[in-house]
């Protein structure tokens, strides 16, 4: 990469020295980030970025962190929408949506899974029918994270029932604040309610909210899913400074509280491997040779995954990635989470029967144990990731198909 | 720390891979396994002189190419993939790195030139009772005699101990650990060749009885663990290459072999195991490549070196076992090549410390 990281560091440092101001409102500040491109350094220059490689993004993040400057809004499913719009949107769509995503003004959700089709996303039966200059949407989605406070959704819906399943789908951007959209929160096995059911009854989508071409829903959804897998390992703490003072920090904390309350368990679903060594020391199991081996295995896996992610980012930036490598990351993130949960149990012993304030770390460990199962399901199950690795990275034969021909004749739930 | 290979490094790998594929087909490996030395002198000369591989990581003043651990890693990985028979690990890696660590200037050049051009085969004797290199494990004593030294003690599992022209020995002499050199034909040296599981490699026990030896570098200057780290990182690359060979071989077979009217690679039970293998191999590559990068950058690599050895040993054996299983009955035959790598994997697993040993060493290096 012919880029001088020291120059970038100096440039961002100077820019921050001139512009960072904790008396600005959060949106004022993030608008500056969008205008300057420093909020999303790896995005294109024309769309709120600076076209920098991953190595430089890390440098920019370090400089932000060093002075406690708040970054662009990236949490929740909004980035799934952002990267997909960036890749497939027209100019008007990019201008209209991307800025408000990274300033935090608009929240988004992903409306892909349905009761009858999760892994088999191309089997969607939510329909969109053209009436005049609008699309009318009817059907049901499920397990949609953040839908209860989203302003917009990315929606995969069927627009042609005579086509085979993969070519009859289209990709829409839908306004969640309308009478035809009803959102109901769903309680999860860990007690939280971060995902929802979403019902569409004659919901309306304006013509220019179709992303890409009609019938291109499947390939566009692949962009979303590839990104989702790749970042799966990054599902950890938001972790900006807690004790700082200033208007902007107050607003930031408020935003975090609203936007992250249902997601307080997210760090736990990744397994909290960061707590393992302290817990092993507290309980004395750090002396146990068998536990030490398991700790080492976990640390090796986690470190290898972090390095793999960095190496992959370089391959992608160089244009040499094959595409589905994110599945490797996602499978590893699942494995790290499972290994951590198992190790937490081993270390905790019989106390692992308890939950809430009675249990270690004020319930955090118990929450790990009941949250980890999400990781290998959300964003495409481990089994689906393995199919992808085998078929698209190792070129093994595809699964036999029983769902070809016009979708209306295909067997379904 | 860099997270990718450069264009030149990629090209170097390609050239190397082509050369090795040409020079080390399994028909050749099988012939060499039956010979005393276990390698072909002509091919070894080409490796050293035409390709300049034995000196890739050695300083230019010593006849080397002056590259670092990343390039050495590439050489080791590709050799491991091709299962090249030859004293590369012993001479270039073990002896080369040990000499480089203690000797300097003219002495260094004098000792390394022959290693780099292949005219001398050297090896390093450290281990006595344990796989890991521990100062406490070393009881071989050097005593000063008439301006020189005499060695007494026993070294085990010396790689190419029976092939080496010159043997470098880590011994204790009151001032700490030092490096000594002994000629293969010296009086007081007894070489006992051992039969190894891995027939592509020679190992020996060496016994020294008042054996005349020269001191290399300064007395008490041998930093055992630092040299070990470098050796481990190089050796881990070799195992990565072996693992890749096993995955490739299994994949090729799974795309050809038909049962129940379809290729076996279309069965999901096997596809998922292939995916697991791929994931583990990608992670091991990340761990091993970054350990080499860290060494290149001069970082503290103790934990990374052990991490690299542990993961590389694990993935190599995992891939070799799966490769046998995916071949079915033919995978258990002598005629099928899989066992050549399987045996290398088995032997490499415990050579220089087992994965469990290294996981523990890693934790200690991290202060856990
Ligand atoms: C915490 C969480 C958050 C989520 N957030 C969202 C969201 O924001 N938006 C959204 O749209 N969806 C979301 N999902 C839904 C998620 O994407 C689906 O649950 C997932 O893709 C699996 O689909 P399914 O539940 O229908 O299971 P199924 O597809 O019915 O799978 C059941 C089992 O069969 C296996 N299986 C299925 N097909 C195959 C095959 N071809 N080969 C081998 N095994 C197979 C699966 O691996 C699984 O073990 C979320 C899920 C969770 C748990």
Instruction: Please determine, for residue A280, whether its predicted confidence score (pLDDT) is greater than 80.
Output: yes
CA atoms of A94 and A346, how far apart (whole Å): 49
User: Which two structure tokens, joined as six digits, stand for B264?
Assistant: 């076996």
Q: Residue B230 pLDDT > 90, yes or no?
A: yes
Contacts of B329 (CB under 8 A, 6+ apart): none
Domain residue ranges in chain A: 5-74+239-259, 106-228, 265-393
Q: A238 pLDDT band (50/70/90 cuts)?
A: very low
Structure token digits, residue B52: 């300049």
pLDDT (0 to 100) of residue A252:
87
Residue B356 has pLDDT above 80, yes or no: yes
Q: Which residues pair with B194 in a beta bridge?
A: B203
Model confidence at A333: pLDDT above 70? yes
CATH class of B123-216: mainly beta
Label residue A2 by pLDDT band (50, 70, 90): low
CATH topology for B7-120 is Butyryl-Coa Dehydrogenase, subunit A; domain 1 (1.10.540)
Nearest CA in chain B to A396: B265
Six-digit token string for B233: 């990182």
Distance CA B200, CA B37 (A): 10
Split at pLDDT 50, 70, 90, the class of A233 is low
Given B251, B285, B307, which is nearest A394 (Cβ)? B251
| Class of domain B224-365 as given by CATH | mainly alpha
* pLDDT band per the 50, 70, 90 thresholds, residue A344: very high
- Whether chain B has a CB inside 8 Å of the CB on A308: the answer is yes
SS3 B4: coil
> pLDDT higher for B358 or A231?
B358
Which pTM value belongs to this model? 0.93
The residue count of chain A comes to 413
| Phi/psi of residue A117, nearest 5 degrees | -155, 105
Asked if pLDDT for residue A236 goes beyond 50, the answer is: no
Q: Which of A113, A140, A193 to mutate to test the pocket of ligand 1 (most atoms within 8 A of CB)?
A: A113
Question: What is the pLDDT, as a whole number, of residue B297?
Answer: 96
Distance CA A112, CA A85 (A): 16
The secondary element (H helix, E strand) that includes residue B17 is helix B7-23
Spatial distance between the Cα atoms of B321 and B250, rounded to a whole number of angstroms: 10
Confidence grade of residue A237 (pLDDT, cut at 50, 70, 90): very low
Q: How confident is the model at residue A53 (pLDDT cuts 50, 70, 90)?
A: confident
The residue of B1, B4, B251, B360 whose CB has the most chain A CBs within 10 angstroms, and thus the best one to mutate to test that interface, is B4
**Does ligand 1 have an atom closer than 6 angstroms to the CB of A380?**
yes
pLDDT number for residue B108: 96
DSSP 8-state secondary structure symbol assigned to residue A21:
-
Select from A292, A300, A400 the Cβ nearest to the Cβ of B287.
A300
pLDDT, average across residues B327-345: 98
Report yes or no: A3 at the B interface, CB cutoff 8 Å.
no
Tell me whether B284 touches chain A (CB under 8 Å).
yes
Calpha distance B206→B156 (Å, rounded): 6
Q: What are phi and psi of A186, to 5 degrees?
A: -115, 135
Using CB atoms within 10 Å of the CB of residue A165, give its burial: 0 to 12 exposed, 13 to 18 middle, 19+ buried: buried
Residue A259 pLDDT = 67
- Interchain proximity B310–A296, CB inside 8 Å: yes
pLDDT at A250: 85
Q: Is the pLDDT of residue A176 over 80?
A: yes
C-alpha triplet B94, B98, B99: angle, nearest 5°: 120
B144-B146-B152 Cα angle (round to 5): 40
The whole-number average pLDDT for the span B197-205 is 96
Alpha-carbon torsion angle B15, B16, B19, B24, nearest 10: -160
B363 contact residues in A (CB cutoff 8 A): 292, 295-296, 299
Q: Where are the domains of chain B?
A: 7-120, 123-216, 224-365
Closest CA to A183 of A201, A199, A205, A203: A199
Residue carrying structure tokens 């994965």: B355
Question: Given a cut of 70, is residue A109 above it in pLDDT?
Answer: yes
Which of A78, A81, A118 most suits a substitution to test ligand 1, by most atoms within 8 Å of the C-beta? A118
CATH architecture of the domain with residue range A265-393: Up-down Bundle (1.20)
Q: How many angstroms from the chain centroid is the CA of residue B256? A: 33
**A120-149 average pLDDT score:** 96
**Stretch B110-131: mean pLDDT:** 96
The structure tokens 């600005």 sit at A24
* Partner residue opposite B274 with nearest CB, options A296, A394, A398: A394
| Cβ-defined contact of B278 to A300 (cutoff 8 Å) | no
Which of A228-232, A280-284, B255-259 has the least mean pLDDT? A228-232
Residue B4 banded pLDDT, cuts 50, 70, 90: very high
Of 2.40.30.10, 2.40.110.10, 3.40.50.620, 3.40.50.261, the CATH number of A106-228 is 2.40.110.10
User: What was the ipTM of the complex prediction?
Assistant: 0.96
The pLDDT of residue A234: 59
Computed over every residue of chain A, the mean pLDDT equals 93
Q: Tell whether A313 is within 8 A of chain B (Cβ).
A: yes
Contact B271 A387 (CB under 8 A): yes
Of A75-79, A113-117, B73-77, B233-237, the least confident? A75-79
Chain A residues touching residue B290 (CB < 8 angstroms)? 307, 311
- What is the average pLDDT value for chain B, to the nearest integer? 97
């Amino acid at each position: 990469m012919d880029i001088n990281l020291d120059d970038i560091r100096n440039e961002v440092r100077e820019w921050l020295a001139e512009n960072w101001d904790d008396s600005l409102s959060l949106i004022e500040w993030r608008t500056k980030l969008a205008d300057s491109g420093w909020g999303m350094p790896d995005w294109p220059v024309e769309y709120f970025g600076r076209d920098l490689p991953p190595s430089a993004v890390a440098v920019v993040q370090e400089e932000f962190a060093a002075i406690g400057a708040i970054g662009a809004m990236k949490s929740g499913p909004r980035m799934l929408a952002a990267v997909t719009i960036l890749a497939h949107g027209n100019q008007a769509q990019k201008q209209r949506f991307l800025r408000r995503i990274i300033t935090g003004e608009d929240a988004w959700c992903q409306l892909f899974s349905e009761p009858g089709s999760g892994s088999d996303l191309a089997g969607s039966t939510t329909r969109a029918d053209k009436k005049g200059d609008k699309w009318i949407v009817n059907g049901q989605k499920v397990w949609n994270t953040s839908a209860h406070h989203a302003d917009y959704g990315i929606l995969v819906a069927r627009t042609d029932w005579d086509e085979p399943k993969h070519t009859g789908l289209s990709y829409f951007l839908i306004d969640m604040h309308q009478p035809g959209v009803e959102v109901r929160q769903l309680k999860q096995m860990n007690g939280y309610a971060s995902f929802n059911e979403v019902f569409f009854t004659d919901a309306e989508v304006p013509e220019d909210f179709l992303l890409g071409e009609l019938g291109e829903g499947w390939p566009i959804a692949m962009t979303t899913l590839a990104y989702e897998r790749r970042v799966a390992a990054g599902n950890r703490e938001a972790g900006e400074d807690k004790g700082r003072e200033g208007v902007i920090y107050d607003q930031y904390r408020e935003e975090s509280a609203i936007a992250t309350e249902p997601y307080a368990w997210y760090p736990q679903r990744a397994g909290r491997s960061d707590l393992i060594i302290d817990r092993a020391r507290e309980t004395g199991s750090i002396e146990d040779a068998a536990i030490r081996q398991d700790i080492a295995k976990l640390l090796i896996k986690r470190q290898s995954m972090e390095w793999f992610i960095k190496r992959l980012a370089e391959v992608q930036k160089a244009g040499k990635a094959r595409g589905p490598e994110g599945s490797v990351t996602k499978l590893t993130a699942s494995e790290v989470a499972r290994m951590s949960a198992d190790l937490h149990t081993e270390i905790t012993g019989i106390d692992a029967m308890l939950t809430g304030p009675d249990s270690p770390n004020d319930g955090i460990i118990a929450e790990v144990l009941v949250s980890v199962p999400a990781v290998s399901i959300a964003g495409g199950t481990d089994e689906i990731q393995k199919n992808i690795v085998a078929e698209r990275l190792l070129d093994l034969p595809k699964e036999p198909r029983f769902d070809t021909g016009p979708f209306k004749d295909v067997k379904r739930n | 720390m860099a997270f990718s290979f450069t264009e030149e490094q990629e090209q170097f790998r390609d050239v190397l891979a082509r050369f090795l594929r040409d020079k080390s087909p399994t028909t050749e490996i099988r012939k060499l396994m039956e010979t005393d030395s276990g390698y072909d002198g002509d091919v070894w000369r080409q490796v050293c002189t035409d390709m300049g591989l034995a000196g890739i990581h050695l300083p230019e003043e010593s006849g080397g190419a002056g590259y670092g651990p990343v390039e050495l890693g590439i050489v080791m990985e590709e050799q491991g993939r091709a299962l090249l028979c030859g004293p590369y690990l012993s001479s270039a890696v073990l002896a080369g790195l040990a000499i480089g660590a203690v000797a300097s200037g003219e002495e260094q050049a004098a000792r390394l030139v022959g290693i780099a051009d292949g005219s001398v085969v050297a090896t390093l004797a450290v281990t006595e009772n344990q796989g890991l290199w521990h100062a406490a494990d070393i009881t071989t004593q050097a005593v000063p005699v008439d301006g020189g030294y005499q060695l007494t003690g026993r070294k085990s599992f010396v790689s190419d101990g029976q092939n080496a022209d010159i043997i470098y020995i880590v011994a204790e002499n009151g001032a700490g650990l030092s490096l000594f050199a002994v000629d293969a034909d010296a009086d007081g040296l007894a070489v006992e060749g051992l039969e190894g599981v891995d027939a592509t490699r020679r190992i020996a026990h060496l016994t020294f009885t008042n054996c005349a030896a020269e001191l290399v570098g300064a007395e008490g200057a041998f930093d055992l663990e630092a040299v070990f780290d470098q050796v481990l990182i190089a050796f881990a690359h070799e195992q990565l290459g072996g693992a890749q060979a096993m995955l490739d071989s299994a994949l090729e077979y799974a795309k050809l072999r038909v049962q129940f009217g379809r290729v076996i690679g279309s069965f999901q039970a096997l596809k998922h195991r292939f995916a697991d293998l791929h994931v583990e191999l990608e992670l091991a590559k990340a761990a091993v490549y970054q350990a080499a990068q860290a060494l290149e950058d001069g970082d503290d690599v103790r934990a990374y070196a052990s991490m690299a050895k542990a993961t590389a040993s694990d993935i190599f054996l995992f891939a070799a076992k799966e490769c046998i299983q995916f071949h079915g009955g033919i995978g258990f035959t002598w005629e099928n090549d899989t066992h050549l790598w399987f045996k290398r994997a088995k032997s490499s697993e415990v050579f220089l410390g087992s994965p469990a040993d290294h996981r523990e060493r890693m934790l200690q290096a991290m202060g856990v």
